[in-house]
Amino acid sequence: MDHRTIGSLSASVVGLGCNNFGARLDEGQTQLVVDAAIDAGINFFDTADIYGGTKSELFLGRALGARRADVLIATKFGMPIDAEHFGARPEYVRQACEDSLSRLGTDHIDLYQLHAPDDTVPIADTLGALRELVDAGKVREIGCSNLTVDQLREARAASAGGPTFATIQNQYSLLWREPERDGVLAECESLDMGFLPFYPLANGLLTGKVRPGEPIPEGTRLALMAPERSQHWLSDDFVARVGALLAYADETGIPILHLAFSWLLSHSRVTSVIAGASRPEQIVANVGAVRDLSPEVIERLNELTS
């Protein structure tokens, strides 16, 4: 397994998104997936305090057990857990960190990420609280999610020589290339930041399981999704591009899953592809999907999805 750097950290290029833990997966199923990930060489686990109604962190910490020192844990704060637990106020940042540390059963978080911007709080105040956590050894690196280019620049200017965001986590995939258009990917290059794509497989559309004109397979994320959400992913535009990608996968003999993972990793700023998994065999498939793509293949993928 190759690794790429996040500040002082070295993360596997395939990570595990832990949003299924405590939601689709119970504690026993979580253990199986975590074990499979570690066995496959994954050392980067990405969760959040809101995942699984706060159970994701709890289940992940228990599943890691004595292996905690061998892996990197990334978690997030800021999205509403309830009416009182949300946002980026300094006092809440400190409390949210303590709560996550307790649930994870650890004394530090490797990558602590602001889950969403909070327009009611100056970013300098949030960064000040994060700096305290870094100085106390409770957090090693800090990151953010769902920020714009202007917000990234504001945060860098407000860091005042203290810790700065080492990563940003925004949606990015062959079907959602907005970070190229909105300038976030280019800004990562300018600021020497890593990019962590969420929905890298477009909620299953890029796994090869979903094929245009065929029923959505039972048990998949799209099949379990509320209709008002699934209709976005099953739009005519997305379905047409999936069809074109599947045809190209057949033409080249490269599975669409491999194209999806490897195209993302062909971007030097993409640090790790953190796909979720609900079964151990999905871990094996994800890890096996990384390969070097020729410039010609990358060019064709860009043509099919731009």
Q: Is 112 annotated as catalytic?
A: no
Residue with tokens 């990405």: 46
Which one is catalytic: 51, 92, 112, 199?
Answer: 51
Residues 33/278, Cβ–Cβ less than 8 Å: yes
Residue with tokens 């690794």: 3
DSSP string, 58-99: HHHHHHHGGGGGGSEEEEEE-S-SSSSS-S--HHHHHHHHHH
Residue 123: C-alpha distances to residues 93, 95, 157 (Å): 12, 17, 10
CA 227 to chain centre: 24
Length, in residues, of the chain: 306
- For the record, the structure tokens of 175 come out as 């079907």
Residue 252 buriedness (CB in 10 A; 0-12 / 13-18 / 19+): middle
Residue with tokens 């640090």: 271
Q: Which helix (H) or strand (E) holds 46?
A: strand 44-46
Structure letter (DSSP) for residue 293: P
Q: Pick from 9, 51, 12, 24: which is nearest to 272 by CA?
A: 12
Distance, in Å, from the CA atom of 154 to the CA atom of 149, rounded to the nearest integer, reads: 9
- For the record, the structure tokens of 122 come out as 């100056």
| Catalytic positions | 51
